[in-house]
Structure formats: C-alpha cells, structure tokens
Chain A
Amino acid sequence: MMTEEESSSNTAASERIKLNVGGKLFETTLTTLRSGGPDSLLFALSNRRSADPTPVFIDRDPEIFSVLLSLLRTSHLPSTARRFSNLELADEALFYGIDAILRAATAPPPFSGIDASLASLIRPASDGLPSSFAAADSGAVWIAHGGQISGYDPNLTHAATLRTHLDHIDSIYKVWPEIAAVGSTSDAGLHFYDFSGSRHVGSVHWTDPLDPRIFKARVNSITASEDSVFASFDCLHRENCILEVDKARLQVKSQFARQSGNQAKNIVPGKLTWIPATGVLVGSAVTGGAFGYSGYVRLWDPRSGEVVWETSEPGSGRSSRFGDSFADVEADVEGLLLFKLCSKSGDLAMADMRFLKDDPWVYLKEKNPSLASYGEVRNSVVHCYKGQVFVAREGELEVWSRVESGDQSESDDAERFYRRNFVDKREDSERGVIKKIEGGGNRLFVSREDVEGIEVWESSHSAAAISLL
C-alpha cells in the first residue's frame, strides 16, 4: 500500500520532463511547460511520452531558454534577463510560442501619473523632430516626422519607416492595425497609408459640385468611431466642415458641421474626439490672439449632423470667469467628462458630458496653498488617460488624479475630489515646451517643441534603487 504522500511524490516524478537545449540539460515539470498555453511549442513537447528516457533536443541557445523557463515558472523575468535585449527575448519567446507571457511580464503596470518616470526616449533616425504621433493600446506608437511615419512595436523597437507624399504630417490616426490616416495643414486631403505594404491606399478630398471654392481643403484633425473616420477640413478661405469617411471602403459617407470660418466661433475644429458610449463627436477649436484666447466646444450627433450642445468662449460661462477663456479642451472618453484649461487663471475645469447645461463647469481646486497659483501660460496641453488628467504648462507636466474619499457623505458627486501632482522633475521641464501628450498601453508619450524624438513615461513597481557602494 502506498500512502497518499508517496503516490503524490510519484506523480510528481512522472510529471517531470527533461529537455536538452543546445547541449544543456534542463529539468522541469509538465505544469510549467504547459503554462505557456496550448498553442506553444513547449506544450506540444509536454505531450511526448514521458517514458522516453532521452530528453528532447532543442537546437536553441540554452542561456535565453533558462530565462524563459524561469519566466514560465514564476511569471516574472529573472534579473539575468537583463543580459539580453528585448528583441532577443521576444524573438526567442516567439520561437517557443510563449510571446504572450513574455509581453505580460515585460509590459509596464497600470499607468499612474503620481508614480511615473521617464522610461525611454524614442528617436527616429532621420528628421527626428516629431510633427505628430499616435499611440496604440498595445503600447506601440507611430511617429510622424518630416513626412515620414516610423512605427515602433510594443517593445518600443523600431518596426518600419514609411515615406508619405506629404511634406509635413500634422495629424495621424490609427484607423486599422496597419493603416494610418494622415493629414497636413499645408497639403490637401486625407490620406490613408498601409504600413505592412508601405504604400498609399486611398485619399479623401472635400469637394462640392455646387461650390467651386471648395477646393484643396486641408485636414486639421482626425478621429474614428468603430466604422467611420471623421476628419475636419478647411479651405483656403476658411470655410470648413467635418467629413465622415467609411472605414472599410475609405469613401466619404456624409458631410456635416459646415461653417463659414469667418469668426472664432465657427473656425475649423482643431481637435475631434469620438465618444462611443453616447455616439457623439466632440470638436473644439481654440485660437489665441493679442486679446487672449477664444474658441468653442461643440458636440455633434453625426447621424443627423445636428449640434447637441455647444459653448463658446469668451461670451459664456459665469461672470467671475470673464476673460478667462479656455486654452485647451479635452474629452475623457471613458469617464464621459470634458476638461478645459483656463488661459488666464490656469485653472482646470471639468464638465460631466451626461449633464451638460449652460454652465456645466466645475473648477477643480488646488488643495495645497503653496502651489495654488499657476499664472498665465502661453502653451498648454490637456490629455486624459486612465481616469487621470495630464496637464502640460510650458515644459511642466502635472497630473490631476482622483482621491478615493473615505466617507461618501461629505463628497458631492459632481465635484469629485481631484488632486494635483507633478509627474516630472524640474530638470525634465527644462527640456522644452510640451507639444503633445498621448497615452497608450500604460505608457504616456510626450513630445516637446524643437526636441528630437518622443519621451516615454511609465509607472514601475521596481524601486530602481541606486547603489552608492
């Protein structure tokens, strides 16, 4: 009779498997090998008759294999992994079919603005000043620079560079996993480029058979819903509209929001955001002049082309905020919130998109008196990512994040408790004025004026202790 303990240790023995990788012998359990998933090469090996005494021979590098084996055992990369580049590990993991596990282990943790540091700098090889970029949820990024688009994969290694016919790309949007929509404010039309074939796959122009003045319209901003691409066009005489383009056929579906462009409140929207939850398109335009900023925020229903809600500044809002019109507006797609940054006071205000009214703005307060005055800023960018609001004032990057309130009684639901913190250090802010912020794949990508490349900010659980010995 075998006791239970003996039998369990016996099964453990038969569960074991030996592998000969490049001459080095490895012994592991079937469970470990199978943790790579049923599609992996290692899973296939684990189905071999375990009675066979000779270990399976795999003609690969044993050193990298030992790293990947500890990854399977612990689901963490060991410190020895640092000897190999991300690309080497990724290639080898692809061979064994465990690339998904490697990606999960190397991907940054959920992005938290209060605990982020500069992880790397991506610099395209030529014409490195980025004119625009688009981040993907996987953590990959496409950078438009000098009429070229460079693609970087989730490991941030260079994947491909594509030359477009445009001289300067001002807006880029990822329409399909391999197809980018690009537009320029100096060249006409919305263009689609296929990254895998590195070729031009289509163009859309705004034309009007009844109006010959609608000619050579340029793209100012691009966004996309599940099946349409929206792009705002304006002509040389500033007349503008939004075209809805069918994502599959790359042809114009409809035209709406046509405006004359002769005033600040009907110029072309410089920013478009699609809100999937409510099916509305948020557009905003801001111009800055000698007398301060002016502009509008408008919400359209693309099916009817009607304006659902709008506000324009100066001219609306509370009298105490007179002359304090917004310098930038951004929509939080998941939280259904609008954020604006006031040009004069520097205050951040929030509006709930579900309850928009005449003056929906709630001004967020800085609780720390020593940081309370921001003063007027010339250049500012607002971006929402993962429920946090990132605000760039000149070169400084700050984050407004929600604090979990202990008791519900005191917190008013509309005015949620936001707290401001700096993401960067003072020396970071001296690198240059921030031009664009975009989040994707738990990374925050930041580009600066006249600075080559884009910065990648990540959160990390690693203490990154610096040894002083």
Chain B
Amino acid sequence: MPPFEGSQPVVCPRPETNNIVSIDVGGQVFQTTKQTLTSAGPKSFFSRIAESAGVYSTPFIDRDPELFSLLLSLLRTEPFNLQKSLLLPLNGRDSPSALAATAEGALHVAHGSKITSFDWSLRRKSTVLTQFTAVDSLLALSPSVAAAGANDFSGLQILDLEKGRVRETLNWENVTKSGSTVQAIGSSAEQMFVSFESSRRNSNAIMVYDMQTLAPVTEIAHNEIFGADIDSAIPATKLQWVESCNLLMASGSHSGPSGVSGNVRLWDVRSGNVVWEVSEKVDCFADVAVCDGLSAIFKVGVNSGEASYVDLRNIGNAESEWICLGDKRKVLNGKKEGFGCKIQTQGTQVFCTKGGDVELWSEVVMNGGRIFKKNLMGRVRDMGGAKLTNLAFGGSTMFLTRKDQQCVEVWQSSSRDF
C-alpha cells in the first residue's frame, strides 16, 4: 500500500464518524479505522494509538512512514485475504483430533497417539508418540513444548516435543481420589487454565497454573454432583482468556434427554467469582468464542447452526442476551444443524465452521449500531469439502482439519510475501 506521497492529507476529521483515526507518522498522515488498529491486539501499540487518537487530535509517531504503511496494510488486509494455500500431509492413518498453533505460526497436530509439530515456516516437521490413545485438548506453550490432555486419560502432560518426553504431569487432586481427565486447556500470558473432571465424573474444577513454573496458583469453579442434578456441575469444555477485561470465559454443555443444555460463564480468576453467566436451554451452543477486538461473545447454536453474539459491554445490564445473526426461526428446530460446528475469533473477525465451509463474520460500522455480515471463505473449488473438525489460528495463518483426512489445510494471507 503506497503512502500518500504528494497527495494532500485529509486533516479535517468528521465528528459524526469518530471511528476514523488519523496518525502522523514521520510527517505523513495515515487514516485508518479504530477497528483496524485494535485488531493488532488489545495491548498492542496500535490499540494505544487508537485510544489516544481523539476526534481533533492526530498522534505523531516518529518512525519511518514507509515501514508503517507496510504494517498498516498488514493489519488492513488480514485476514480477509486468507486463501487456501498449503496442505500438510500426516503419516499414518489417524485423522487429526486437535490443533494448536503458536503466535509465530508453528503448529502442533495431534493425530491418534502421535503429535506432529511443524516449524513456523511449515517446512520441517517432527513426530513424537504420546501415552494418550487420542489427544483431545492441546495447547502450544512454545514451538517445542505443548500441553496435552484427553477425555479418557488422567492428567495433563507437558510434553517436550523435541525430545519426545513428558516433562511434567499435572493432576487435579479431587475428593473422590480418582483420576482427573482434561476437558479443556486455555492460557493467558501469565497463566494456564485447565478444566479437569474426576474420572468418576462427579466433580470438576478449573485449575490455574503459573505459566513459567507450572505451579498451581488457584482452583476455581469447583463443582460436585450430589444426587441427580447433573446440570449443576457441567465441566467447562472450552476456556478462553479475555484480555480486555481480565476474565476467563468457561463454557460447558452436556446432552440429556431434554436436549443439549449448558452454560457460559465469565470468571474473575483472582476472586474465584462468576462475573456473568448465561444458562443455555433453548438453542445451546455448539461452540463459543470471545472476540476481544469486537468486545463480544459469539456462539454457534447446536440446533440452529446460526451464529449469535452478546455484547460484552452490556453484560452488566439486564438485557444481555444472545442476538442471533442468522435465521432466528431456526433456534427452535430440533435438527441439530450446528452439531460439531466450531467458532474462533482472530482480531476483529469471527470464523465459524459449518459443514465443510468456513463462514467469516465481520463487523460493518454504521451509524448507531453494529451490523455483522458474513462471507464464505475460499473460492468455489474450495467449498463443500469434508466436514471441518478443527480450526486454529497461528499468527495470521488459519489451520483447518477435516473428517477422515490425514492432513492439515493451511490458509495464508495472499499479501504474506510482499
């Protein structure tokens, strides 16, 4: 994207659209939107610019404008430009069960009892054997270290993927003195969160560990089941740290005779209190994800298969409920159209898998209200493949896996090598 060389910079800001930000970099004025800037992450330099930029003030950055224009174009173009670019084949016959990517784009793929790691360039790989029959939860701690857990195997293992060794096994000491299976793993910059369930399936908790020392910090969301009230203690099956409000999103669901029910909670990790919670009775989520860039929680309904959101800025208020982005009538259908759908967010974009396709939801800022619009990702020949089973982001790269296919699809930005 060429800087505005020679052209007269637009200095006068329009107060009615205060979403536009002007930045003076080394003498050249750039104009962009707040969303573009905040898509770099809530604690990034760009987000701070977005905050500091008032209606009539233009922040000055003493940096090279040419390089800044590259960075800005990177923020602008991603990830609208993701295209299906590579296929990483996996050896053996096991289909991938979990994906985890680092911010640099290194990838770990669990398939069967094996974990194959690809380096950031996706040119070199290595495979190790684990004690799990299948890995259900995987978190990349670094390009060579991953945390892995399974629904049918006790303990969370910190694996050294270079040496193929278990570095440490973390267990949850539960009341029943039975094993503890891992239901979900999440992380913030300083902490790792693990949702454990006792092997007897009558108690569960979320353990918080220090990322550096892996020492337990605290235990939250401890539940025990007494009697038949199973709904009172559904273990969290997805954990996501919400950076902007320092809360942990934990969601869990289970399928009963009356359909799928579950809950989504926001936890204050330090106090161990639930800040906000929503009980899912009608169209329970198939998957939930928090989009920090848009300050919203997104879900895809298991019955409707449609995406819905809750504005995080409203959660203190009483009217915080799901706003359906698609066909609202489908909420009540019993077809389970959303079964197995995954939802992930990256920057200010929301990615939702539906069958073999990925829907991309993006916000369109209009006067007085937010509108979300969707697009199907990929070209015609990319559509309608086998059902998508996993979706992960590493940096600006999207990784997908499909049912019964022993490979990982890599979607990269077409502006990657400028």
Contact = CB atoms under 8 A, between A and B. Distances in A.
Interface in B54-112: 83-89, 91-94, 112
Nearest to B86: A465
A404 B164 contact: yes
Interface stretch (B44-52, B123-131, B180-188, B202-210): B123-131
A114 interface: yes
Interface stretch (B114-122, B256-264, B275-283): B114-122
Contact of B91 (A117, A407, A461): A117
B278 to A, nearest CB: 36
A467 B89 contact: no
B134 to A, nearest CB: 8
A215 interface: no
Interface in B158-174: 164-166, 169
Nearest to A118: B91
B86 A466 contact: yes
Interface in A297-340: none
Contacts, number: 95
B157 interface: yes
A461 B92 contact: no
Main DSSP-derived SS at the B contact region? strand
B415 interface: no
Interface string A409-424: 0000000010101111
B93 A425 contact: yes
Contacts of B84: 468
Contacts of B406: 425
Given A405-B131, A425-B93, A467 B85 contact: yes
Interface residues of B, number: 35
Contacts of B83: 469
A421 B114 contact: yes
Contacts of A117: 89, 91
Nearest to B87: A466
Nearest to A460: B125
Contacts of A467: 85-86
Given A403-B130, A406-B169, A469-B85, A462 B123 contact: yes
Contacts of B333: none
B331 interface: no
Nearest to B134: A368
Given A115-B114, A425-B93, A403 B88 contact: no
A423 B166 contact: no
Interface of A: 112, 114-117, 367-368, 401, 403-407, 417, 419, 421-426, 460-469
9 contacts: A404-B164, A419-B131, A421-B94, A421-B112, A426-B93, A465-B87, A467-B85, A468-B84, A469-B85
Given A422-B94, A463-B88, 4 more contacts: A368-B134, A403-B131, A421-B129, A461-B124
